[in-house]
Structure 1
Amino acid sequence: MTFWPEFLLIATAHLLAVASPGPDFAIILRYAVRYGRTTAIYTSLGIGCAILLHVTYSLVGIGVLIQTTPWLFQALSVSAALYLIYLGQGAIRAKAPASTADTVATEQVLALPAPRAAFYAGFITNGLNPKATLFFLSLFAVVISAETPLAYKAFYGVYMAVATAAWFILLSFLLTQSKVRYFLLAKGFWFDRIMGILLLMLAGHLLLNSFTA
């Protein structure tokens, strides 16, 4: 009886969360600009699968442990910050192409990450994201009723994983349309640098919060 109202509430909350700017958006934008559609799609799949990680620890009760053990959550935040620093320092050092005419040729010979590496990058980025951790802790503690059957909760988790991957795959397609793609190839190093600054700012925010909380 309460399945559809609860599901619609969860779907709405998830849509707002996944569409808000954050590390997931930053890494998809960077990978789409620098490496193209296929790499960005594999990264999107990694982000979607990481949602299942959050759902799993929420279902088995590990989420309560994270929530009630400050040092554990702090360790998660610091790990996420260090990974964002690793991504950000690489992005901020992006160099401009020799000329606009050489941009496409340069992109064609650019060493692309292996699909597995792109998948892992998305998985780690979302899996270590404290924002995602807090979202799922709140979702399973407040929005989803304790009386909701486990099968329904599992369905919610699968839905959010698929919806997250679909959202970022759609974003990957939009960012790699031919005209957009050519523009991004020509000016992509600026996007890389901007994303690098954003990632470093996010890392600083995480570190500040983790040591002042």
Structure 2
Amino acid sequence: MAFWPEFLLIASVHLLAVASPGPDFAIVLRYAVRYGRRAAIFASLGIGVAILLHVTYSLVGIGVLIKTTPWLFQLLSVLAACYLLYLAQGALRSRPPVGQEAIAMEHTATPASTKAFSAGFITNGLNPKATLFFLSLFAVVISAQTPLSYKLIYGLYMAVATATWFIFLSLVLTNTRVRGFLLLKGYWFDRLMGLLLLALAVHLLFSSFQSL
């Protein structure tokens, strides 16, 4: 398959996947609501870099091993679910700011950049759905005759496009007016994201044990 037709097909499929709600969206929204623009951007960068992880193991064949080894895939699912549960419990305990606390949150509650980056990286890196997506992409959409250099370009594009999409969301969600509203009412969004993360974790655990 020629480069451009295949690339456009991959870009379209990837756009639909990255724009659909999931753990990545939930973590970026939570960081944007709770901690502000800087933290949300670093979480977005973490998600983008994690895409390179999926691309790497898909190219070297480790992804096939994960898919064809039930206990390994189940372990990945359980680890992902546990991490989502950890994030969910923190989000569900969010409380409304009182008085000057809302102003203080904007300046002092931002976590370290490395922590936000790690949260995005781990959330995407442990996501079994992302694993299956890239396995399907490299097995079905991308031709076996496609040169390795093209595949590397595809992978780099998807990593950059993913990070760019979530950085864009971070900028929108932390707009001055939106940020002011979220500082006062953001705990409701935080709790909502906690419920979403909890639901995703339960679904992963249920799917994992159902396949035993």
User: TM-score if structure 1 supplies the norm length?
Assistant: 0.97
Kindly indicate whether residue 22 of structure 2 is the aligned counterpart of residue 22 of structure 1. Answer: yes
What is the CA-CA distance between 1:103 and the residue it aligns to? 5.0
1:194-213 aligned within 5 A: 194-213=192-211
CA distance in 2: counterparts of 1:64 and 1:105, whole angstroms: 49
What is the CA-CA distance between 1:112 and the residue it aligns to? 1.9
Q: Is the 8 A contact 1:37 1:173 kept in 2?
A: yes
Q: Which residue of 1 aligns with 2:55?
A: 55
**SS of the residue aligned with 1:53?**
helix
**SS of the residue aligned with 2:143?**
coil
Deviation readout 1:32-84 (Å, 9 max, x if unpaired) = 01110011001100000000000000000001101110111100000000000
**SS of the residue aligned with 1:119?**
helix
**SS of the residue aligned with 2:49?**
helix
The amino acid across from 1:108 in the alignment is: E
Q: Which residue of 2 aligns with 1:188?
A: 186
Q: Which residue of 1 aligns with 2:11?
A: 11
1:93-108 aligned within 5 A: 93-99=93-99, 102=100, 104-108=102-106
Q: Which residue of 2 aligns with 1:168?
A: 166
Kindly indicate whether residue 141 of structure 2 is the aligned counterpart of residue 143 of structure 1. Answer: yes
Q: Is the 8 A contact 2:28 2:166 kept in 1?
A: yes
What is the CA-CA distance between 1:163 and the residue it aligns to? 0.1
Q: Is the 8 A contact 2:36 2:106 kept in 1?
A: no
Q: Which residue of 2 aligns with 1:2?
A: 2
Q: Which residue of 1 aligns with 2:73?
A: 73
Q: Which residue of 1 aligns with 2:132?
A: 134
**SS of the residue aligned with 2:97?**
coil
**SS of the residue aligned with 2:134?**
helix
**SS of the residue aligned with 2:193?**
helix
Q: Is the 8 A contact 1:36 1:176 kept in 2?
A: yes
The two structures, once aligned, show a CA RMSD in angstroms of: 1.0
Alignment size in residue pairs: 211
Q: Is the 8 A contact 2:106 2:183 kept in 1?
A: no
CA distance in 2: counterparts of 1:78 and 1:170, whole angstroms: 31
What is the CA-CA distance between 1:109 and the residue it aligns to? 4.6
User: TM-score if structure 2 supplies the norm length?
Assistant: 0.97
Q: Which residue of 1 aligns with 2:112?
A: 114
Deviation readout 1:147-198 (Å, 9 max, x if unpaired) = 0000000000000000000000000000001111111111011111111111
| Gapped regions of structure 1 (runs ≥ 5) | none
The amino acid across from 1:35 in the alignment is: Y
The amino acid across from 1:169 in the alignment is: I
CA distance in 2: counterparts of 1:181 and 1:38, whole angstroms: 12
CA distance in 1: counterparts of 2:149 and 2:101, whole angstroms: 50
What is the CA-CA distance between 1:120 and the residue it aligns to? 0.7
CA distance in 1: counterparts of 2:87 and 2:14, whole angstroms: 25
| Gapped regions of structure 2 (runs ≥ 5) | none
